[in-house]
Amino acid sequence: MRLFTALQPPGEVLDEVEQAIAPHVGRVPGLRWPDRATWHITLAFFGEVPEGALPDLETRLARAVRRHDVLDVAFTGFGGFSSAGRARVFWAGLSGDPMNRLVDSLRAAGRRAGAAHTDEKRFHPHLTLGRAKTEVDLRPLVESLSGFSGSVWRAEAVHLVRSHLGAQVRYESLAKWALSPVRRD
Ligand code: 3AM
């Protein structure tokens, strides 16, 4: 099964992003806009994982997530992969607490559980909002959204998600683990 780990931002902050992009949705040639129900922030991507490896993967991921604190982050700025001028992916970026240590731990858990295709590329936290089959120039779109700054929100849990590929990709959350709550005085 095709698996990855992800954060699920709260509805209120997704509302802010949705409102910001609304005037542009369907109006950028070549760009497809996945349904909001599919929005997520990918942390570690594992690719195809044999079903038999799932219990071990879940145990290791649960252990990894517990060792990291909740994260305070905000959506700030939009961009394109691999660049705004030549993009196949349109995204909203995140600022605030860095997620790299968490992602490193999740990737290590995946490797140890035998997930053969654990992604090792440099991690750029983002929410994918649009996809293109060929490279498109998103500089005007990115420029027109440059004033956007979303509310701060707290990422409190990590989801293990299964991708069901098809004409319309569908994501199924298989498990959810809480990040360690920060002690407040
Ligand atoms: O959340 P986004 O859209 O950034 O691009 C895929 C999606 O990320 C990514 O995993 C998420 C759920 O499918 N993905 C797909 N194949 C990938 C790969 N080979 C990949 N990430 C890294 N390596």
Give, for ligand 1, the residue of 33, 39, 45, 158 to mutate: max count of ligand atoms closer than 8 Å to Cβ: 45
Q: Model's pTM, two decimal places?
A: 0.95
Amino acid at 67: R
Q: How far is the CA of 118 from the centre of ligand 1 (A)?
A: 11
Does 42 contact ligand 1 (Cβ within 6 A)? yes
**What is the distance of C-alpha 97 from the center of its chain?**
15
Alpha-carbon gap, residue 112 to 91, rounded angstroms: 30
Return the residue matching tokens 């997620």. 99
φ/ψ (deg, to 5) at 5: -110, 150
Give, for ligand 1, the residue of 90, 91, 119, 158 to mutate: max count of ligand atoms closer than 8 Å to Cβ: 119
Q: Is the pLDDT of residue 26 over 70?
A: yes
Per-residue pLDDT of 43-97, as tens digits, reads 999 999 999 999 999 999 999 999 999 999 999 999 999 999 999 999 999 999 9
Q: How far is CA 104 from CA 23, 31, 94, 107, 126, in A?
A: 37, 31, 17, 5, 16
Amino acid at 95: S
Residue 65 domain-assigned (yes or no) = yes
Does 2 contact ligand 1 (Cβ within 6 A)? no
**Residues with Cβ within 8 Å of residue 158, at least 6 apart in sequence:** 5, 6, 7, 43, 61, 65, 102, 106, 176, 177, 179
The domain that holds 102 is classified in CATH as: 3.90.1140.10
Confidence band, pLDDT 50/70/90 cuts, at residue 179: very high
Q: How far is the CA of 153 from the centre of ligand 1 (A)?
A: 23
User: 100-112 and 54-66 are packed helices; what angle lies between their axes, rounded to 10 degrees?
Assistant: 150
Q: How far is the CA of 183 from the centre of ligand 1 (A)?
A: 33
Per-residue pLDDT of 130-173, as tens digits, reads 999 999 999 999 999 999 999 999 999 999 999 999 988 999 99
Residue 35 domain-assigned (yes or no) = yes
Q: Is the pLDDT of residue 183 over 80?
A: no
Listed residue (81, 67, 58) closest to 159, CA to CA: 58
Residue 183 domain-assigned (yes or no) = no
CB-neighbour burial class of residue 181 (10 A; exposed 0-12, middle 13-18, buried 19+): exposed
pLDDT of residue 185: 53
Q: Whose CA is nearest to atom 8 of ligand 1?
A: 42
Residue 59 domain-assigned (yes or no) = yes
Residue 185 domain-assigned (yes or no) = no
Residue 184 domain-assigned (yes or no) = no
DSSP for 36-91? GGG--EEEEEEEE--GGGHHHHHHHHHHHHHTSB-EEEEEEEEEEEE-SSSEEEEE
Q: How far is the CA of 22 from the centre of ligand 1 (A)?
A: 24
The range of the structural domain enclosing residue 36 comes to 2-178
Q: Whose CA is nearest to atom 14 of ligand 1?
A: 45
Does 46 contact ligand 1 (Cβ within 6 A)? no
Beta carbons of 88 and 43 less than 8 angstroms apart = no
* The total number of structural domains that make up the chain: 1
Q: Which helix (H) or strand (E) holds 19?
A: helix 11-21
59: left (phi over 0), alpha (psi -120 to 50) or beta: alpha
Q: How far is the CA of 184 from the centre of ligand 1 (A)?
A: 35
Amino acid at 84: A
